[in-house]
Structure 1
């Protein structure tokens, strides 16, 4: 049974038991695994990051400290932690929210084509982690890639039409039989209620260059790149299977059984 603790109380419990700094995504995962909250929202990792960052920024007596990029711990454990040099730019960015100034706000990697019920406006479903609310990315705007297994076969963009419609078009055109997975990089973020936010439109050329460099590294995984794209701090989502597929499979199975009985 869930304890349904307030976010801050749950975070304090996890960090106290851990005894050292953790990445905010790992903190969120422990909260989910230990069922410390009933309602997780659509972006539990973002919630953890925001609560800790806000506490550090606005509360002089905050129990938290920043140990590194995305890493947070409790001040009572700080004396036992190894010293980490945090660049000033990273400190400012973290204090303001890790993705506030990023072009790419959300992404999905190697999602299965078979997990989507394809129609003219399909539901492109995902969740940030197990237990989080499902988000529909059909209206997402950004860049997408079609894969044949892990090989990229096509790169496209969703600008005037949403991601769902663009992908559906590729189930009808010459690319239909040439892809079984897709990845996407979206300009729209996700709020706590699971709704897509507006894209960040004002940005300089350096941000654009960094973002697309990060996209290529993240999607193509070239062997000479030893780390992920430095500019890709967007929240990653895992794909969720459209329940309509299961409903239709169950209906078809029942129809087959009834036909045999007749």
Structure 2
């Protein structure tokens, strides 16, 4: 955030038709377009751009270089009947692109009180990030993607248009969620899920290749995937077999750690109704 002396050298460009309430902290080179409304507890980092008709309310922080397109609404109260006006937060990282009509809400006081979004993420038109979600970096939410409350989305996840995620679901890093998918259960790192109800269709091989995985490592993860989700044995027994058989492979370790972690939801699998 800027000091008064720095602001004099690099003033923000605030349109006369915008409303910036007293108390808002505005960084250097910020642009606030016509008919935007910035609340008194908002903090805008350097080089943030609010195009027009953007509403930023609550205790909301927007990181350096993030661009917000018209009609986005950020930091308003959670859509939760148990919210009674407590001071909770929305924190958005650096260099994000937030397209038209996107909504993101602050957290609930009984769940940590904070909704977070990482760096370099892209939120396409009318996607929604509900209270207490934690979205990683380099994530893409396509048009009309809906995240219910308390959803966790790992780094480099891509979600197709119209996908909807049940509350408390975890989506592991590098996962791919197909368009219109109904995500009711956790999705492993590198997983690829499609359908309604959502079915784990395999691994996001393209995503792994883009992230620099070499063929031997990808083949090892494929073998581990087949073993873990072998329907002839319980998943816990299958994981024990993978631990015994596999060499050190960071991706396999991440998948196993994800499955081992406590969760409020079951585990998405290649067979509908199969639970972890």
Range class of TM-score, shorter chain: under 0.3
Q: Larger helix proportion, structure 1 or 2?
A: 1
Higher relative contact order structure (alpha carbons within 8 Å, sequence separation ≥ 6): 1
The alignment's TM-score, normalised by the length of structure 2, stands at: 0.25
Q: Larger strand proportion, structure 1 or 2?
A: 2
